[in-house]
Amino acid sequence: AASRLEISMPAVVEVEIGGTARIECNFDIPENASYTYIDWFYLDRSNRQVRLFHVTASGVLEDKTDYKGQLSLGEDKALSISSVTVQDARTFMCQVGAGSYGMGENSTELSVYKVPKTPEIVPNSGGISVRSNEVPEIARCISRNSFPPPNITWHKNGEQLQPRENQVAMQSTLTRESSGLYTVSSTLYAPVTREDRHSRYHCAVHFWLRGQRRALESQGVKVKIFYPTEHLKLQVVPSSALVKEGDNVTLVCEADGNPPPVFTFFKKIPNDWQDLSSLVEPESGVLNLHEVNKSSSGTYRCQSLDLDDMTQREEDVDLVVNYIEGVRVKMEPSSTLREGDSVTLSCDAHSPVALDYQWRDGKGRKLADGNQLFLSNLTFETSKTFSCKVMAPSVPGLEQSKQVSVAVEGKPRIVAISSPLYVRQDEVVNLTCKAIAFPPPTVQWSINGTAHEYVDNQHVASNLTVRVSHDLLQAGAMCRVSNRLGVSEKHIQLVDQKSTAESQGVIIVAIIVAILVVAVLGAVIYFLHKKGKIPCGRAGKQDITKPEARKDKIVVEVKSDKLSEEAGLLQGANGEKRPAADQ
């Protein structure tokens, strides 16, 4: 048991603004005696005690104070304060009277707080030059609605910055709002270098919460840094090694300064430089060259002008436009070719890169690789047109073609006629004669009629429309094809369809007569057999060379495997059944 009155209270109670604070008053009275009264007070700004509650055995008395409606006492006589504000950050006292054991008291410091909002960071919007003579402003940081006032620190690339004379400075401003909360702002001043274009800055607000140091960080920001150009690069897109005639080429000039400098393009000409500003996209380092050709090759220059310090830099690049020119095909021999001759075609071209050659016929079919093509045993049917395709393997898409015509001369050759042609007298028919030749031939007919000619390359076809006469049937027609190298002729035979029909009738009559002869012969044989003049039986056959056979008898050989069939026929013919021996 306690020897004297003891009162215990927490030294500090923390509560967030707007919350409810609960302050306990625990006491021990010797011999478990009861208290006489319990009083709750707070200390005002003058450090005077202002009573809140007076508790006795008969009841609880709440004094009239500014806390009206915010205070309450628990069964354990603990003091509760609701809707805590900034003004409630003060000392609260509990006083206990215990009669003969005297009076005791203790106090608790009520600490109120408001966690600040996440700090906002605003970088310098105008940009900072590395040539600035003064230490420039990097960014501003603001933290609002906190209590008590927090502290702001600055960080660069994750490392905290410390103030340094004439180098790094941090200016802070503290503002107390009407709500009693604080807004704190801080401005960072620091020099910058070219490398700071990649740096990230952020600020952090620090505060105490329940005895521990806490922090909230802003987002990281980059600052626009202005610095002069140190390196200039000029390149060809696509790669200059692959540029060919007809391509669209872009020259790109890049500088590592910020802001980008002003670019100007030039092309080297004899003893001077040609200004190409009219071809440059506005405010860019891009020069567009459309459908370049051999003359587009040369040295190009990009010149940069830094408007900050008016310094100039230059960079050159060589543009090589690959091309193929002078494609020609030579034919040996170059004299006139005849059927059966041979010829060699040679292809040649000029280019700054290695070339491959390929030969194709008039239908696009590949014939051979290499710059020569040998053709032997030429005929009219040999392809009239050949092409030499010249390609640059190192430059995809760079190619040219050259065609050559190979004319094979010879006398005409008739390849088709409409013979024999079956006709009727007085009808109108078409006679056809087809030939091949070069030079182009003329077609003549031995008879008069209406002729129509059709020419396809070396082929010529003539259709002659005529009326069939008796003389035409007898003599036929002659097709004559000629050019300066010779003549070819072929005869067309006309066959009268009437004569053909009569011949066919004779054949049919002959066939009918033959059938009748066979029928009569069969009847004779049957009659002789019926009269028994022809022996027949299963014994097989009789030899007509036996001496006892009579010379005037007809002997017929019948094979045994036909007996049953013939027996049936004979029986059916006579209408009566005869003994097997008679049969």
- SS3 sequence, 31-74? HHCCCCEEEEEEECCCCCEEEEEEEECCEEEECCCCCCCCEEEC
Structure token digits, residue 582: 């008679």
**Into which CATH architecture does domain 117-226 fall?**
Sandwich (2.60)
Mean pLDDT, residues 20-24 taken together: 95
Residue 565: what pLDDT? Answer: 36
Collapse the DSSP code of 114 into the 3-class scheme (helix H, G, I; strand E, B; otherwise coil) and give the result.
Answer: strand
Residue 505: what pLDDT? Answer: 55
pLDDT at 475 over 80: yes
Residue 336: what pLDDT? Answer: 83
Cα distance between residue 215 and residue 153, in whole Å: 10
| CB distance 21 to 15 below 8 Å | yes
Residue 437: what pLDDT? Answer: 87
Mean pLDDT, residues 450-458 taken together: 87
* Residues found in the chain: 583
Residue 503: what pLDDT? Answer: 52
Closest CA to 150 of 178, 173, 121, 123: 173
Would you identify the CATH topology of the domain 410-496?
Immunoglobulin-like (2.60.40)
Cα distance between residue 249 and residue 244, in whole Å: 9
Structure token digits, residue 360: 């194709």
Q: Name the residue with tokens 């050709």.
A: 293
Residue 281: what pLDDT? Answer: 79
Q: At what angle do helices 563-574 and 497-530 cross, to 10 degrees?
A: 80
Q: What is the pLDDT of residues 385-405, one digit of tens each?
A: 899 999 999 999 999 999 998
Res. 534 pLDDT band, cuts 50 70 90: low
Q: Which of the residue ranges 32-46, 346-360, 444-458, 562-576 would you say has the lowest mean pLDDT?
A: 562-576
393: CB partners within 8 A, 6+ apart: 354, 356
Structure token digits, residue 122: 């605003």
Res. 354 pLDDT band, cuts 50 70 90: very high
For the chain, the domains span: 6-113, 117-226, 238-319, 325-406, 410-496
Q: What is the pLDDT of residues 117-174, one digit of tens each?
A: 999 999 999 889 998 888 999 999 999 999 989 999 999 999 999 999 888 999 999 9
Res. 308 pLDDT band, cuts 50 70 90: confident
Collapse the DSSP code of 472 into the 3-class scheme (helix H, G, I; strand E, B; otherwise coil) and give the result.
Answer: helix
Instruction: Tell me the average pLDDT of the chain.
Output: 85
Mean pLDDT, residues 404-415 taken together: 89
pLDDT at 377 over 70: yes
Cα distance between residue 106 and residue 29, in whole Å: 15
Cα distance between residue 85 and residue 480, in whole Å: 128
For the domain made up of 238-319, the CATH class stated in words is: mainly beta
Residue 239: what pLDDT? Answer: 77
Looking at the DSSP bridge assignments, the partners of residue 438 are 410
Percent with pLDDT over 70 in the chain: 88
Greater model confidence, 275 or 567: 275
Residue 554: what pLDDT? Answer: 30
Q: What is the pLDDT of residues 168-187, one digit of tens each?
A: 999 999 999 988 899 999 99
Residue 532: what pLDDT? Answer: 65
Please state the pTM of the whole predicted model. 0.55
Domain 325-406 has CATH 3.40.50.720: no
Cα distance between residue 43 and residue 104, in whole Å: 17
Q: Which of the residue ranges 25-39, 173-187, 444-458, 566-580 would you say has the lowest mean pLDDT?
A: 566-580
Residue 504: what pLDDT? Answer: 55
Mean pLDDT, residues 5-19 taken together: 92
Greater model confidence, 123 or 32: 123
Residue 499: what pLDDT? Answer: 57
| CB distance 152 to 184 below 8 Å | yes
Res. 278 pLDDT band, cuts 50 70 90: confident
Would you identify the CATH topology of the domain 6-113?
Immunoglobulin-like (2.60.40)
Res. 2 pLDDT band, cuts 50 70 90: low
Greater model confidence, 529 or 248: 248
Greater model confidence, 551 or 193: 193
Residue 568: what pLDDT? Answer: 35
